Amino acid sequence: MSEIEQLEKLLADAVFQMASADEEGLRRIEIRLLGRKGEVNRILSTLPALASAERAALGAAANAVKQKLEAEILRRRAALGRELESELAEKEWIDATEPGRAPALGHAHPTSAAVAEIASIFERIGFRRARYVEAEWDHYAFEALNMPHDHPARDDWETFFVDAPPSKKFGKMVLTPHTSNAQIREMERRRPPIRMVSLSKTYRRQSDVTHSAMFHQFEGVVIDKGIALTHLKGVLDYFAKNYFGPDRVTRLRPHHFKFTEPSFEVDISCGLCGGTGRTAAGPCRVCKSGWLELGGAGMIHPNVLRAGKIDPSKWSGLAFGWGVERTMMMRGGQNIPDIRLMYMNDSRFLTQF
C-alpha cells in the first residue's frame, strides 16, 4: 500500500470513529493522527527518500488529508457542544421571569455598632470623638493619672508590658489598660473648654465570662469653668435614657479612683424589674436589688489637671468611662452570657444581631 493510500485509509477510518466519539475520544484521535508524532507526520517522514514527483504528490495528498481531518474534528466538536447545551437546557431550566434570590448581606459587628451608637449619642450634646494610641507610655497610663508606683494596676499581673526600651521621660511602654490616658493627651492637645469622648481598644490580663484580654472602652471628659457633680449626673442620665431607654436612670455610689475626687461607681436601674428589685415571679433574677453596676466616674482630680498643664483653681472637670461590651450586654433583650462570645468569630452568634 502506497503512502497516499495509507493517508486515504487513515482519513476514512478517522471519519468513521469520530462519528461516535465523545470529547475525550475526539482528543485521542486528534493526537494519534495529527500530533507531533502522529500517523500523518510518520508518513511524511518518508518524503526525503522519494523522487521529486512522488514527493510533490505525497505532500499535496498529506495537506489535503490534514485539512479534511481538522475540518471533521471541528464539525464533531461543534456537534458535541450543541448536544451538551441541549442537555443543560433540560437539566438546568431557568425561568427568567421568576424573582431572584437576594444574596446574604453581612452587617457591622455588634461591638462596632455599639461604638458608633455611643459616639453618636455623645456627639449630639457637643462631645468631640477622639481616639488615642493603644501602646502607651507609663506616664500617660498611670503616672499622670495620679497612680503611685505601688498601685496594683501597675503590676505585671494586671497590665501587659511591652518588651521595648523605656523612655527616660515617660517610662515603660504598656498596652493601654484603660482609655483614661485620653484625658492627659487631650489636655496636652487642646486648651479648655474640653468636651471629648474617646473610644478605643484596651488590654488587661483578665479572661472570664465578664472580662476579655482585649475589649473596648469609652471615656468621657468635660473640662470647663464651674463644672460640678450635677453636670456629671445629667450627662450620665442623658446617656442612660438614650442608649438603654427613656425609663432608665443612673445613681452615683461613692467609690475610690486615683484620678477622680470625689469618685463614684455608676449604677443603672434594672430594665427587667424597673429598678424595684422584684418581678411578678419574685426577686429579680438579673439585678437582685434594682440596680446594675455600669462603670466608674467622678470629678477629675486636681493632680490630673496639673499633669495636663491645666490650673485646677480656674478649671474643673468630670470624667466617666466603662466597657463598650459590658454596656451593650446590659441593654434590654441582649442575653449575652459570656463577653468572650463576641470575639469567637462564630457566625451563629453574630447573625443574631
Domain locations in the chain as residue ranges:
3-91, 110-350
b/e 280-297 (16+ beta carbons within 10 angstroms → b)? eeeebeebeebbbebbbb
Query: What was the pLDDT predicted at 20?
Result: 81
| 53: its cell numbers | 514527483
Query: What was the pLDDT predicted at 335?
Result: 67
| 11: its cell numbers | 482519513
Which residue, chain included where needed, has cell 479648655? Answer: 192
pTM: 0.67
Query: What was the pLDDT predicted at 230?
Result: 94
pLDDT tens for each residue of the chain, 353 residues long = 677 777 777 778 777 887 888 888 888 888 887 777 777 777 777 767 767 777 777 777 777 878 888 888 888 888 888 888 877 767 777 777 888 888 888 888 888 999 999 999 999 999 999 989 889 999 999 999 988 777 776 666 678 989 989 898 999 999 998 999 999 999 999 999 999 999 999 998 877 777 788 889 999 999 999 999 999 999 999 999 999 889 888 899 999 988 899 999 999 888 777 778 887 878 877 677 888 888 899 999 999 999 999 999 999 999 999 889 888 877 766 667 777 888 888 888 888 87
| 249: its cell numbers | 436612670
Q: Which amino acid makes up residue 215?
A: F
Tell me which fold the domain 110-350 belongs to: BirA Bifunctional Protein; domain 2 (3.30.930)
DSSP conformation class of 208? B
How far apart CA 73 and CA 83 sit, in angstroms, is: 15
| Contacts of 159 by beta carbon, 8 Å cutoff, 6+ apart | 141, 153, 174, 175, 177, 203, 204, 205
Query: What was the pLDDT predicted at 1?
Result: 61
